[in-house]
A = this chain, B = another copy of it.
Amino acid sequence: MQEVGSNPHRTTLKDVAQVVGLSVNTVSRALNERPGVGEATRQRIKAEAERIGYVPNIHARSLVLGSRQTIAMIVTNLFNPFFAELVSEAESRAIEAGYTLLLLLSEESEDREVAAVAAALRSGVDGILAVPVSNDSHAYDGLTRAGLPLVLVSRNIAHLNADLYANDNVSGMRMTTHAVLDRGATDVVLIEEDLQISTVRDRIAGFRLALQDRGVPFDSRNIVLIPTRRSASVALPWLPWQAEDAHRVATDLFERGRRPHAFVLGNDHFALGLYAALRAQGLRVPIDVMVIGWGDQPFARYLDPPLSTVALPARQVAAHAMKRLLHKVSGSQEPPETLCIEPELIVRGSLPRELVLATGGQTP
């Protein structure tokens, strides 16, 4: 085992006690604002502690208290700005509550997810906030038995019945699909990454519901799932939602003679590739083809034409999730709760301004 390069002698409670001429115990109580110490004594102790540079040893404290004041957040990747925002908000809330955030990245890999949970367990965190890799991930199964509070964020796990805080993907995609249908599109293609996650599943459900709402027949070929290619690069983590994938998929579609009226996408990045494919075909947005993205990334409004998209309540989701988790960490034992927050459709130039009567089916 390596020698740890720590200080020769960090000043300890005992040192403070010696300096002020009181017992370790009294000093501890004074410093922790607990009753049983005279105010004058307390002040003197604090001053002395400060003076000789006393810093409490968190390890000893954690040992006796059984808590490290740390939350682990397991996220699939940081590339998706939605996740970055989730983490940013979670970190901020954790700090606010006197906790710190241990970040564990699963990089969309089930193996790394299992490793992440193990690391969280090993490192003695007080609770786990997780965006699972898949809808049937078993990485978290042992947690409740181990007594570690868990809250899921953004993606659900079917068999787990855990707390879940997420975007409302069903209603979001339903709203999105309505938006194109109500502008006259009847041949609408949905492009999604082929991941076994609840968000994709829910968006597909929302898509189908919307068609049903407007009486437009569903054609399963209108849902294009981009095959994952995890093996593509071994060294670098694999990333979903690549613009080039959408570019390829759209180009394929056009080459097979298909020309949908509208595309609704599972991610704004898809719009980048799609726009390129449309330009190559000489198709104009929104006149020939309508496009709606997902996630309202910063570049969306600057595309030409500006991309209509769905703004996600990332900070709200994370804030609620962290609040819930901290509540559970402090011993609350309520039954699992699911909260899906409605996203917001942002209409920009990639959609025609005026609504038209549906052409393909009866009006609702």
Contacts and interface: CB of A to CB of B under 8 A. Distances in A.
B68 A77 contact: no
Interface in A81-105: 81, 84-85, 87-88, 91-92, 95, 100-105
Interface in A107-133: 107, 115-116, 119, 121-124, 126
A7 interface: yes
A105 B92 contact: yes
Interface residues of A, number: 72
Given A87-B103, A88-B77, A123-B69, A330 B3 contact: yes
A315 B73 CA distance: 21
Contacts of A299: 243, 269, 272, 299
A299 B122 CA distance: 39
A302 B330 contact: no
A321 to B, nearest CB: 16
Contacts of A242: 298
Interface stretch (A38-46, A57-65, A251-259): A57-65
For this chain, the copies found in one complex come to: 2
Contact of A70 (B84, B102, B330): B102
Contacts of A101: 102-104
Interface stretch (A12-20, A168-176, A273-281, A355-363): A273-281
Contacts of A158: none
Contacts of A243: 298-299, 302
Nearest to A272: B302
Interface of A: 1-7, 55-60, 62-63, 65-70, 73, 77-79, 81, 84-85, 87-88, 91-92, 95, 100-105, 107, 115-116, 119, 121-124, 126, 146-147, 149, 236-237, 242-243, 269, 272-273, 275-276, 279, 298-299, 302, 304, 315, 328-333
- Please list the 9 inter-chain residue pairs (A to B) with the smallest Cβ-Cβ separation, ordered nearest first: A272-B302, A58-B124, A5-B331, A78-B84, A103-B103, A59-B63, A7-B147, A59-B62, A2-B330
